[in-house]
Chain A
Amino acid sequence: MVNEKQLKEEVKKIVSRDDVKYVIGYEKGTYGFQAAPSFAFTPEEADKFIFSPLCVNNLAVYLMLEEKLPLHKNEKEDTRKIGLIVKGCDSRAVVQIIQERGLKREEVVLIGIPCRGIIDPKKINAKFPNQMKNVDVNEDGEKFLIKVDGATHNIPKDELLFEKCKHCENPNPVIYDMLIGKEVKTLKKENYDDIKSLEKKSLKEKWEYWEKQFEKCIRCYACRNACPMCYCKECMVDQLSPQWIRRSVNLSENTVWNIMRAYHLAGRCIGCGECERACPMDIPLTKLNKKIEKDVKEMFDYMPGMDAEEKPLLAMFKPDDPEEFIL
C-alpha cells in the first residue's frame, strides 16, 4: 500500500515550488470503482490526491496534450515544470517521449510509485455491478480488500488484475525524482503466450479472427487519444492531403487504421494497455502491440522506454539485421 500522507506531502512540496506549474495525479472518481486524473495548481488542491489499485490512467498522456497557444508580443514562454505521478509503465512512456525529444528531462518532475498491479475496471464492474457510491479498495499481500455494502470481500489479485499487470516486468519506475514507498521485487516474466498461440494459426484463421475484431471498430479514435505515445501534431487519419484513410467506417478503412496505429507504435509502445481500456468496442488492441513488441525484442534485441539516451528503433540500424525475405 502506498502511504497517501507521504504522497500528499511530497506533492504539496512540489506544487509550492516556484518552477513548477502544476502536478498531475489521481483523485477519487464520482462513483463506483473509479479514480479520476486530477490537477493540482495549489498546495490545497493536493489534499484530494490518492493512490489506490484503481488508478488505471496513464497520466503521461497529459504531458503531450497541453495546448500551447501562440505568444503575444513581449510575452515570455511559460517554462515552468510539470509534476507527474508515475507508475512503472507510465515512467517508461515518459522515457520514450524524452527519447523522441518530445520533452526534455528537466521539463518534468516525476513522483515515482512502485506499482503492485492495477485493477481492470471491466473485471471489477462485472463482479460488483451498479455501484453508485465510491468504493474503497485496499490491498493486502496477494489479495484485494473491497468494501461493498458494509461487507468486506477478499478477492485474490489474479482475478481482478489487468492482463498486462500479470506479466509486468517493470513495476518500479524507470526514472523518477522521488520515490514514494519501497521498490517492489518481481519475478513476473512476459511470456507472450496469447500471441504465440494466435501466431500458430493459419493465415485464414488469423484473418477471420481479426476481420471480426476490425468490423466492430467505430473509429472513434479513443485508442489514439488515450495513448501517451500518439502525440503527432497532425495524425495521419486527420490529414486531408493526402487522405490516407477515408472517413467511412467499413472493414477496409478500419483494417488500415488499425494496422497503421499498431505500426506507428512499433518500437515505441510501452505496453500500458490504455488503448484497449479506452476502446468502447473491446477490440484486443494490446494483442497487436504486444506482437510487435515481441518481434522487436527477438529480432533487434530492443525494449522501448528503458533508456532515454538510446536512439529510436526505426531511426537506427545494424548492418546484420535479419533479411531472410529479401530477394
Chain B
Amino acid sequence: MPPVSHSFSRAPRASIIVPAYNAAATIAETLESLLAQTFTDFEIVVVDDGTPDRTLDVVALYDDPRIRVVRQANRGLAGARNGGLMAARGAYVGFCDADDLWEPGKLAAHVAHLDADPEVGISFSGSRFIDAASRPLGLAQSPKLKGITALDVLCRNPIGNGSAAVVRRATFDRIAWRPATDSRPWWFDERFRQSEDIECWARFVLSTDWKIEGVPGLLTRYRVNPGGLSANLEKQYESWERMIDRMAEIAPAFVARHAPAARAYQLRYLARRAVSQRDGRLALSLLARALNASHRPLLAEPAKTCSTVAAAALLSAFGRDGYALAERAILTARSRFA
C-alpha cells in the first residue's frame, strides 16, 4: 500500500503517544512497528521527556510526516504521557512505550472496537512478553476481555501494561484535571513514579461509567527487562498502597471492601517478580503478606498461587541452584493461567 499523505490541516483519527527517555537502543524498532500498522490514519507523538541520550537522533532518521516530536523537561512517564495527550489530535489515543512493539493489526482492531461501541472508553488487548533482544519469552498476558468491573481493574489490572490501551479521547478527558501546582492538565497523576498506569485506570473506572473492554489477540509485545533490584519491589508496593489510598478518597466503601483481595493479588505479583530476581526470601515474605491480606488469590487461582509459593520455597531453600527448577515451575503455571 502506498504511503498516504496527511496534511496538517486535518486531524488524524488516531494518535499514538510514545514517551521516550533513554530509548535510543529500542525506539527504532518501536517506530517501525507503529509505521507498519495496517490502519494508517494516525500520528505518532514522540514525547522527548528530557532524555539525555541520542533518542531524538534516532527518531530524526524517520522522515514519515506522521511522526511529530514534542519536547519537555523531564517529568517521568506519567508526565510524558500527559505531554503527549496535550499535543495529540486524534479522537482515539494509544500509548506505546519506547521499548515495546505493536503487532501490525493492533490499531485497526482498537479503532474498529471503539467505532462499533460508543460506550467503550478504554480498549485494550493482551500482550506477549519479549526479552531485551526482542525474543519471545513464551509468556503472555491474556486477561479477561469483557464485563470488566472495578474489582477486576483493582485486583487483576486486565489492561496489563502501559502499551496495551487505546482510549477514546472524549471520555479520557473526563478524568483530567489541572492541579494547583502545575499549569498543565493531568490525565495521569504525575506524583506517581510507579503504579501510574493502574492509578489512572482505577480512577477512570471508579469515577466514570464508560466501559473498559478488551479485543481478542495478543497485540502488544511487551519488553520485560531481567534483573532489577529487590529494593524496587518494596518501593513498587509502597506506590501501590498510595494508589489504594487515593482510590479510597474517591470510593471509600468500595475500597474498604475490596482492598484486602486487591492487596493479596498485588503482593503475589510482586512475589513472582522477586522469584524472577532470584530473591527467594523476599518472595516468601511477600507471599506470606499476600495470604495474610486475603485468601482470594489462593481460592480463585490455586495453581498459580501454589506454583509461586513452590518456586519461592525452592529458591529460598536451595538458593540460586534451585532457580532453574523454580523458574520452570513458574513459567509453566504462568503460560497456562496468566
Decide whether A and B are members of one complex.
no
